[in-house]
Amino acid sequence: MQPTEQPAAGENEIQGLRVFQVRVGCYSGGRFAEQPRWVEREGVRLEVAAIESRWREQDRLGFRVTLEDSQHLLLFYLPEEDIWSAVEVP
């Protein structure tokens, strides 16, 4: 049996769908994590210019936002873990 060549790391990832951990500053009125205000990734903090949509799933909150540099992100907050993650989207 011939050994098969393994793809290089990342070759199977779809461009733009890489999840990364971020820090998020939020307005918390009646609920925690009600409105993301800024996102920090790799030491760079950007203001949230617009919240395009928000939703609640069984274990997490989701937001589609536009940042001040026109970048679009899907933000996900897992309350039980107190962890934010993000995915860049077109």
Q: What is the residue whose two structure tokens read 């070759």? A: 11
Per-residue pLDDT at 72: 96
The per-residue pLDDT for range 52-82, each reduced to its tens digit, is 999 999 999 999 999 999 999 999 999 888 8
The per-residue pLDDT for range 6-57, each reduced to its tens digit, is 333 343 344 445 678 899 999 887 777 789 999 999 899 999 999 999 999 9
SS3 5: coil
Answer yes or no: pTM beyond 0.85. Answer: no
Cβ contact 20:85 at 8 Å: yes
Strands (E), 1-90: 19-21, 23-27, 35-41, 44-56, 61-67, 72-78, 83-89
User: How many H helices and E strands in the chain?
Assistant: 0, 7
Could you tell me the end-to-end alpha-carbon distance of the chain, in angstroms, rounded to an integer? 43
